[in-house]
Structure 1
Amino acid sequence: MRFIEAEEGLPLITQLSYKIDEDRCKLLWQWPDGIQAVYIYKGSLDREQQGEGGHGYPSSVAGLKLYTREEYKAAGGYVDRIDTIGLAAYTVYACLMDDGDKRLVHQPDGQNTVHFSTGRAKIRYSISHKSNLLRKYKTVQISVLAEVEIPKEALCYVKKQGNYPVSVDDGTVYPFLRDFPSGRSTLPSIEVGKNDYVRLFFTDGPKYGRLYELIPE
């Protein structure tokens, strides 16, 4: 199996669309003449820009699923269960057969890809400040409870002197070093000045706010 670039004369997937019904989605598209099967790749925009490394190709052929024209006709499309939270993406590749060699047509124009939101994943967090009268510093403990794995690039904590920061730009920004797994994560304690306050923010509100909901506990 290998990819070939779309060019004039090659069959292309067109009119790709989707419908969502509760926990299932249905893909519909126009089959090009002569194509009896396609391969479908299901990706996730919030993690890997459709899982395709930014070059339009799946990161692994193991994620490709064969789907025939007969199956499409029987089901009235391609039906899949929605099992992720965030931005889902599906890419449909026309499959050419040549003496047993499968060639998948890559379409740089993106007309064979759809993406949609399956809902925002909740990120609950708590921050505790503990001080000691005999010390010049206080201890801050951050705890994060995530519905799905969260990339470290999505979150940061901001430290401000005198009061809690109100935005990611309202203080000193500190990145996280590791991704957050789904479930509860209690981070190592950090020390700040007695008059410092810490709060959690998205590094990019418009970008990550589409995918996640940040909720203080």
Structure 2
Amino acid sequence: MRFIEAEEGLPLITQLSYKLDEDQCLLRWQWPEGLQAVYIDERAADRGLYGESDHAPQPGELRLYTREEYKAAGGYRDRIDQVGLVRYTVYACIMEHGEKLLIRQPGAENTVEISTGRAKIRYSIRQKSSLLRKYKTVQISVLAEVEVPKEALCYVKKQDSYPASIEDGTVYPFLRDFPAGRSTLPVIEVGKNDYVRLFFTDGRKYGRFFELIPE
């Protein structure tokens, strides 16, 4: 099984749409004449959806779905059990010399993105200081509903008051992705009058997928 690029004369998927009913998703599309099967790629809100390059789907990640199954079910039904953005891509499948060929279409006619709500990122910042030291320690803890790429978050340090935005202080990146669950970061040392707060590196971009909540 391998991918080929769409060209004139090949069957293409059109009119792909979806309907949500609680945790159930129903996909429907227009089948080209003569096409008997498709392969469906479902992806959670991963790096590709945050604007970075997608990896090509592997055969084991795709689900075969036949025209007969579609007719019997009235579409393609799937249960969504994750928070965030889910992308479905439907690839027409044809046979050539005994080999399955999946057609990669230009544009997005065979792709839909479904938002199931923004994933929550809760965070806390604990400070500890001593009268005898010039510095205080700060420890950041992050509780994420889904994996969060390190590029999405940063912390900002400001003297004498908490920073109001990413532009209101010195910006520091994170070095590792945040897995789903709680991550407690190593202690950092800042000046006694310094204050730290977490922000999205790009609120417009990552605010589509996540909600940042102080604990």
Of the three residues 171, 194, 197, the one matched with 1:196 is 194
Q: TM-score, normalised by structure 2?
A: 0.96
Would the aligned equivalents of 2:121 and 2:210 in 1 still touch at CA under 8 Å? yes
Distance in 1, matches of 2:49 and 2:118, equals 17
Q: Please report the RMSD computed on the Cα atoms of aligned residues, expressed in angstroms.
A: 1.6
| CA deviation after TM superposition for structure 1 residue 46, in Å | 4.1
Q: 1:62 to 1:51 in 2, by over 3 A?
A: farther
* Structure 2: gaps (5+ residues): none
Identity of aligned residues (%): 75
Q: 1:168 to 1:22 in 2, by over 3 A?
A: same
Q: Which residue of 2 aligns with 1:131?
A: 129
Distance in 1, matches of 2:2 and 2:116, equals 31
Report SS of the residue matched to 1:164: coil
Number of residues paired by the alignment?
215
Q: 1:125 to 1:82 in 2, by over 3 A?
A: same
Report SS of the residue matched to 2:175: coil
| CA deviation after TM superposition for structure 1 residue 49, in Å | 3.0
- Opposite residue 190 of structure 1, the aligned amino acid is I
Q: CA offsets, 1:153-204, max 9 Å, x none?
A: 1111000011000111110110111111111111000000011000001111
* Structure 1: gaps (5+ residues): none
Q: Which residue of 2 aligns with 1:26?
A: 26
Q: CA offsets, 1:30-81, max 9 Å, x none?
A: 00011100000001344223999447x42x2211100000000000000011
Would the aligned equivalents of 2:47 and 2:54 in 1 still touch at CA under 8 Å? no
Would the aligned equivalents of 2:13 and 2:110 in 1 still touch at CA under 8 Å? yes
Would the aligned equivalents of 1:156 and 1:174 in 2 still touch at CA under 8 Å? yes
2:12 counterpart of 1:12:
yes
Report SS of the residue matched to 1:125: strand
Distance in 2, matches of 1:54 and 1:187, equals 29
Q: TM-score, normalised by structure 1?
A: 0.95
Q: 1:52 to 1:153 in 2, by over 3 A?
A: closer
Would the aligned equivalents of 1:46 and 1:211 in 2 still touch at CA under 8 Å? no
Q: 1:13 to 1:51 in 2, by over 3 A?
A: farther
